[in-house]
Structure 1
Amino acid sequence: MGDFHDDSMLMIPPPGFKFIPKNETVCGKPGCFECFDIYCERCESKDRRIVELEMRNNDLVKYITQLQGRLFGTRMGGGGSNSLGGAQPFFGANKGVGGGPSSGGAGGSPTGPGGEPFAYIQSPVLYDPNLNTSYVATTTFAPAPGDTVAGAAQSVSR
């Protein structure tokens, strides 16, 4: 390994970059490809900022989801008498309508083999210019098939 370092070409870092040792032991030659990586402080701060923005974005998505739950629950629940805030017709009367995930299956239930949905998210009214129609997208959340941990937790809490 020592012979290879003697003949290797040395790196010269561009302005704003510096060398970071790859291992605890280095050959001692500044700029050795085998012993050093190049580090850019400006790029590192950009990466850190991107991570911060992604975390902030996730927080905003959670907040928007909560607001949608309040908004759609209030607006949908005001006209109906069911306790699910207007979601019951989607699970009951409209089974298999609209090309849901399991609308073509043998059971015809949009819940699938995992059981009854425990939550849903509904989008605001969207417009498709190709079809020249407005629509609302609804995503349902149901227990995963064979989820014994969730089943045990539900039976204990009841």
Structure 2
Amino acid sequence: MSNEATLAPRIVVGVDGSAPSKQALRWAVGQAKLTGAAVEAVFAWEYPTPWLGMVPPTDKESGDFEVHARRILDRAVDEALGPGPERAVALRPTSVHGQPAAVLLDVAAGAQLLVVGNRGRGGFREALLGSVGMHCVQHAPCPVVVIRGSGGGT
């Protein structure tokens, strides 16, 4: 029996603090309730653009970015699902340094599903999928669910 067969199924969801990502998280939790899966809420972060081509950040500055990323993720999870540890499914929030599409694809290896929100802003653009979502749809190692935003909300 392989290790994958003994692990509980996982649903990976990209969370960036936006309303569509919070909707995706809520949907992933609902699906996890139905399937008995755990949910991995993943926030991918990168250094701000000014660091590119310049002196890399110090260890302290690097830690500051990581702490800030984790705060954004924790706040988004609480806003989407309500505060508190008594949630209906196993939830593993994770912040990872790296390009968002690459991070999500890496974490989704072996997952049951990868869930992303769309970033459409209304009108024709609402029908479009953002670059991260499109990359995930085209390259994911598992099925991908794209949650369309309702146009407003959290």
Shared fold per TM-score greater than 0.5: no
Q: Normalised by the size of structure 1, how large is the TM-score? A: 0.24
**Structure richer in helix, relative to its length:** 2
Larger Rg: 1
